[in-house]
Amino acid sequence: MDARFIVAGISGLLGGICSVTAIQMAAAFRRAAFWPCAEGTVTESSIRTNPIQPLSQLPSVAYEFVASTKIHGIVIDTMIFGRTPRLSGDWFWGFNRPRELVSRFPAGSKVKVYYDPRDSNKNCLDRDDKSGLYVLSFMALGSFALALVELCFGRTG
C-alpha cells in the first residue's frame, strides 16, 4: 500500500473525529445558551498538578447551588454540587489559563451557575468560553487539508 494513502487516511480519520467532537460541542453550547441560572457558592478553588504531565496544571473549582425543577406542575428545589467550571472542559491552551480561571472563582464567592433544567447535574459556571471549540475546528480543517494535500501532491512509493 502506498504511504501517501496511509498518511491521508490517518489525517482524514483524525479530521473526522475532531469534526464530530466539534459538532457535538457546538450543539452543547447552543443548548446551554438557554439554560436558567441560579446563584451558587464556590466551595473550593485551586490548581492541581497533572500526574500524567507534571508541567500541566489542572484547575479544580467546586461549587454548590440550588436548582429548581418543575415536575408535574410542582417546583422542587434540589441542592447540587458541581465541578464543571467551563462548558468547554478542562483542556487549556496556554500555561496561565488554568490560573486565570481559578482566580475568577475564588472560594467563598457567589457565582452564577447555569444548569440544564432537564438534568441539573449538567451545569457550569462559564458557558461562553468557546476556545476548545475553535481549536477542534482548526484541527479538523488542518487534518482534512493535510489529507487532501497528501492525496493530490504526495510522493508515490
**pLDDT tens string 94-128:** 677 888 889 999 999 999 999 998 888 999 999 88
User: What is the model's pLDDT at position 65?
Assistant: 96
Radius of gyration of the chain (CA): 20
User: What is the model's pLDDT at position 44?
Assistant: 94
Contact in structure between 15 and 136 (CB atoms under 8 Å): no
Average pLDDT over residues 131-143: 85
Statement: residue 137 has pLDDT above 90: no
Alpha-carbon gap, residue 93 to 50, rounded angstroms: 15
- Helix and strand tally (H, E) in the chain? 3, 5
User: What is the model's pLDDT at position 85?
Assistant: 83
Phi-psi region of 94 (alpha: psi -120 to 50; beta: other; left: phi over 0): left
Average pLDDT over residues 21-35: 91
pLDDT tens digits along 59-87: 889 999 999 887 888 888 999 999 988 87
